[in-house]
Structure 1
Amino acid sequence: MKVYISADMEGITGLVDSDDVQPPGRDYERGRVMMTEDVNAAIRGAYQAGATSVLVNDAHGPMRNLLPDLLDPRAALIKGRPKPLGMIEGLTAEYEVALCVGFHSRAGVLGVLSHSFMGHEIEDIWLDDEPVGEIGMLHAAAASLGVPVALLTGDDTACAEMKAWDPGVSTVAVKYAKDRFAAQLVPVAEARATIETTTETALRTLPQAPTPSNAVRRLTVRWQSASVASHLPAIPGVHKRDDRTVTVEAPMLDLYRLFCLFLRVATAVTSNPPYC
């Protein structure tokens, strides 16, 4: 069984603030250790369930957060950026399952460090007119490849968001949101033990894989800045809906790749900090 892990940071055990998850935050280096150990817990669970290989994609921010020397040596790691497919780099139809470790809820939800890809720069995203964030985009992309998502770890709002997309996904709440930068934490040892056991159980009871699909879907993004929206129609197929909103239609994997290009354009024309 080939297992793919996309590892974000905001939903990692014990982390609640931008200082925990963004360099040069005062607790960022400690946050990197915490992230690596949550991922290790999922890797252990995967191998206990019979995994033959595990690929981990560092999917947060600079995408060089995980510590290779502390990562379970049985797993391969994709590190650094830019990547054409960003948070799903390396995910292909050859994988039998995908896991989401350390994820957060979408923009507009009162979850820990909630946002959609670019902090305040993205106001809303819709996939076929349904509100979507990083969780829904990954789930839809994996489904288009025929790869089921079996696990998500994060705060309780991220878990609820995944369950809304797919009730069959196992979730582990490692903290409970009190506000956007505050949470009631699950004790570290308990959280990691639960990640490990839930991963093992989820992989032993995998749901039927979705049918791969190249169906055309519609992605709509509303930006905080009209400047971003003014640049994106230079990309063939992208249209402005209004001064701050663009839309494009394509098969899901092409949409995800285009959206990653949107992010690079937005980064070039804005300088907004990630969370404040």
Structure 2
Amino acid sequence: MKVYISADMEGVTGLVGADDVQMGGRDYERGRVMMTGDVNAAVRGALAAGAREVVVNDTHSTMRNLLVEDLHPAAALVRGKPKPMGMLQDLDGSFDAAVFVGHHARAGALGVLSHSFMGHEIEDMWLDDDRAMGEIGFAYATATALGVPVVALSGCDVACAEAAEWDANVRTAPVKYARDRFAARLRPADEARAAIEEAVREGVREAPSRTSPASHTPDTTEHTLTVRWQSASVAQQLAGIPGVTPSAGDAAHDRSVRVSGDLPALFRLFGVFQNVAYALTGQAPYC
């Protein structure tokens, strides 16, 4: 059994502020220790459920956050950037289950360190015009389109609730309870790691029952991605990409763009969107 772990940082045990998760922040090095601890708990859970191969993708910011020397020795690590598929790099239909560790709620939600990919630069995202989504939803939809069930997620309680809205079968491990965007009631670290390990163990054990005979065949159904940006300049530049158009159905359509395609292609194209936006704005993530 092969298990894939996408590891972000904002939803990690004990972390609540920008200084915890941004390189150069006063508590960033401690944040790296905490992130590695959460990921190791997930690896242990996957192994306990029978995984023979575990691949971890470091997906936060520079994608060089996990402490390589302290990572569980059974896990292979995908590290650094750029990555064409970002937080899903190296995921394909050969995996039996996907796990999201340290993920966070979408922009506009009152979850710990909530945002969608780019701090406040992205105001909203939708799949197929009417389903609001952030990183959890986009990654979930893309993984399942690749034929890989998402079986477990850890993060704050708001992130866990968001995952359940996409799939009630996803095992969740809330490691903190949001009190505001930069405040939370924390679970003790040992208790939080035990919850992560249990959620992953049970989720991976259930994975075969969630896998249909045809599930490893990629879903090539066409979907539509719409993104509303804070800056009209970003939307204007993105409209120069073939297939990308202004979203006339949005009241703020001068700041929104839409594009259609299969989900893996949209996920990869969205990485290009981010690169354009970073080049134009240079915004800090948590302003």
* Counterpart AA for 2:279: A
2:5 and 2:273 map into 1 onto residues whose CA distance is 24
For residues 73-118 of structure 1, give each alpha carbon's deviation from its aligned partner in whole angstroms, at most 9, with x where no partner exists: 1100011111101010010000000000000000000000000000
CA displacement at 1:121 relative to structure 2: 0.2
Deviation beyond 2 Å, 4+ runs, structure 1: 209-212
User: Aligned partners of 2:115, 2:206: CA distance in 1, in Å?
Assistant: 31
Q: Does 1:63 align with 2:63?
A: yes
CA deviation string 1:36-58 (max 9, x = no partner): 01000000111111101000000
Picking from 214, 220, 223, the partner of 1:214 is 220
**Count of aligned pairs:** 276
The equivalent position to 2:260 in structure 1, one of 249, 252, 266, is 249
SS at match of 1:234: coil
| Equivalent AA in structure 1 for residue 85 of structure 2 | L
How does the TM-score come out when normalised to structure 1?
Answer: 0.98
State how far apart, in whole Å, the 2-side matches of 1:51 and 1:263 are.
34
- Cα distance in 2, alignment partners of residues 46 and 27 from structure 1: 29
Instruction: For residue 193 of structure 1, report the CA deviation from its aligned partner.
Output: 1.2
1:243 Cα shift? 1.4
Show the counterpart of 1:262: 273
1:104-115 alignment, distance < 5 Å: 104-115=104-115
| 1:167 matches 2:168 | yes
Distance 2:169 2:134 in 1: 19
- Cα offset for 1:200? 1.1
Stretches of structure 1 that go unaligned for 5 or more consecutive residues are none
Which is further off, 205-214 or 80-89? 205-214
* Structure 2 counterpart of 1:235: 241
RMSD: 0.8
Per the TM alignment, residue 23 of structure 1 is displaced from its structure 2 partner at its CA by 1.0
| Structure 2: stretches of 5+ with no match in the other structure | 248-252
Question: Which whole-Å CA distance do the structure 1 matches of 2:283 and 2:201 have between them?
Answer: 40
- Counterparts of 1:199 and 1:117 in 2: how far apart (Å)? 24
> Which residue matches 2:135?
134
Q: 1:18 corresponds to which residue?
A: 18
Partners of 2:197 and 2:139 in 1: CA distance: 22
Q: Shift of the alpha carbon at 1:209?
A: 2.4
Q: CA–CA distance in 2 between the matches of 1:231 and 1:253?
A: 22
Kindly state the Cα deviation for residue 124 of structure 1 after the two structures are TM-superposed: 0.2
| Amino acid of the structure 1 residue aligned with 2:71 | L
Aligned pairs for 1:15-164 (under 5 A) are 15-129=15-129, 130-164=131-165
- Cα deviations by residue, 1:207-228 (Å, 9 ceiling, x for unpaired): 4126441000000000000110
1:169-188 to 2 correspondence within 5 Å?
169-188=170-189
Q: Distance in 2 between matches of 1:257 and 1:198?
A: 29
* TM-score of the two chains, using structure 2 as the length reference: 0.95
